[in-house]
Amino acid sequence: MTLEFLYRQPVEIRFGTGSLASLGETLRSLGASRVVVVCDRFLRARTEELRQSVPEIAGVFSDVEENPQLSGVEAAVRLIRETNADAVVGIGGGSTMDTAKFAAAIARSDAEAIAYFCGERPFPMDRLPMIAVPTTAGTGSEVTQVSVISHGSEKKTINNPAFMPRCAIVDPMLTVSVPPRTTMNTGLDAMAHALEGYWSRNHQPISDLTAIEAVRLVLENLETAWRDGTDLKARENMSLAALLGGLSFALPKTAGSHACSYPLSERYHLPHGEACAFTLDSFVRINADERLEHLARAVGLPDTDALAERIRELKRLGGLRTKLSELGEFDLDAVCREAAAHPLMRNNPVPMDEAALRRMFTALQ
C-alpha cells in the first residue's frame, strides 16, 4: 500500500515560561491595535494587570461559563464590535479558547451567531485574528480548528478552518495554579488526544510522532505535576504534552473515547478530561494492535496492557471516577446509542456498534 497524506499546521507557536510577556509584540506583529480579551471570571484580575503592559487591550469579556454557551459568544461579539477590535485573545482553558475562536470568526459579519451555529450560513472568509493562550495543560485547542459550544441543551463540536488560531502563546507558568484534580483531568485529556490521533483511522506519520512524544511526556510528568503543582519542569513538560497532543489529533481527529465522552459529560456532568479518561484504558485494550504495541515500547513500557494499566492507575490516583456505579443511575442504552451515533466513533480503528459499547461499559461495573 502506498503512503499518502496531507499535513497542515498554520498556527504560529510561541512556547516558554514567561512567554505571555510576548503578547504585545505578537499583537504588533499582526498589526493589531485594539484587542478584546476573552477569559473566565477567575482570570479577570490577571487580565486587567496585563493592560499595564499591553495597551492594545480595549475590552475584557470574562463571562465564559464552564460549558460555554452561544450566548457567551454573542456577548463577546457585541464587545468586539463596540470596541471596534481588530484581534481577539482567548486566555483560559478549552471553554475560553472555544468562545474566543467562535467570536473572532464571526465578529466582522453582520449575522447573528445562531445562523452559524445552525449551519444556515458558511463561516465568513473575513475574520479577526485570534491568539490562543492556554492556562491548562490539556485541550490543545490552541492548535486546532475545533470549538465546542452549546446552545441550550444542544452541544455542538464544530470543526471549521475559521476557528484556527493565528498564534498560540503557551506559557507553562499560567498552569502553576491549576488545582490537582483539574491537572489530572486535563492531563489525561492530552493523553487521549495523542492516543486517539495515533489510532484514528486518519492517522498519519507526522502526527504519529507528536503523539508518541506527547504520551511519553504525560506518562513521565503528569503524576509529578499532580503531586506538586509548583514543579515547573513537570508543568513545562505537561504544557508541551498538551500542545503536542493537540497537534496529534488536529488532522486525524479523535475517536472512541471522545465519542463516548459527550454522553458521559452531558448526562453525568463529568468534566471533559475525566469523561474521555473514563473509557481511555478500555479503548487501549480494544484498539491494541501492532502499531499501538510500537507506541507502548517507544514510551518505555513493555506492552499495551501496561499502558492501559498506567492510565487506570493515574485515574485512581487523581480520584477520577472509573466505575458506572460512581455515575449514579446509569442509562446504558442511551449512552451506548449516543456514543455509537457520534461521528468521532467512525474514526475508531475497531468498529464499535451499540453491542460492542455495551460490552465495554458493562465491564466497568
Min dist CB 132 to Fe ion, Å, is 15
Spatial neighbors of 349 by CB under 8 A, at least 6 apart, are 199, 200, 201, 255, 287, 289
- Report which residue type is found at 185: N
Spatial neighbors of 213 by CB under 8 A, at least 6 apart, are 241, 244
Min dist CB 60 to Fe ion, Å, is 26
Min dist CB 262 to Fe ion, Å, is 10
Dist. CA 276–CA 229, nearest whole Å: 22
258: left (phi over 0), alpha (psi -120 to 50) or beta: alpha
How is residue 308 written as a grid cell? 492501559
Nearer to Fe ion, 142 or 189 (CB): 189
Nearer to Fe ion, 63 or 189 (CB): 189
**Residue (of 19, 1, 3, 361) closest to 169 by Cα position:** 19
Min dist CB 261 to Fe ion, Å, is 7
CA dist 58 → 7, 71, 110, 160 (Å): 36, 21, 21, 27
Measured distance between the N- and C-terminal CA atoms of the chain, rounded to whole angstroms: 42
Q: Which residue is nearest to Fe ion (CB)?
A: 189
Min dist CB 181 to Fe ion, Å, is 16
Nearer to Fe ion, 98 or 189 (CB): 189
How is residue 200 written as a grid cell? 484514528
Nearer to Fe ion, 50 or 250 (CB): 250
Min dist CB 95 to Fe ion, Å, is 12
Nearer to Fe ion, 340 or 344 (CB): 344
How is residue 314 written as a grid cell? 493515574
Nearer to Fe ion, 166 or 193 (CB): 193
**Which residues of the chain form contacts with Fe ion (CB under 5 A)?**
189
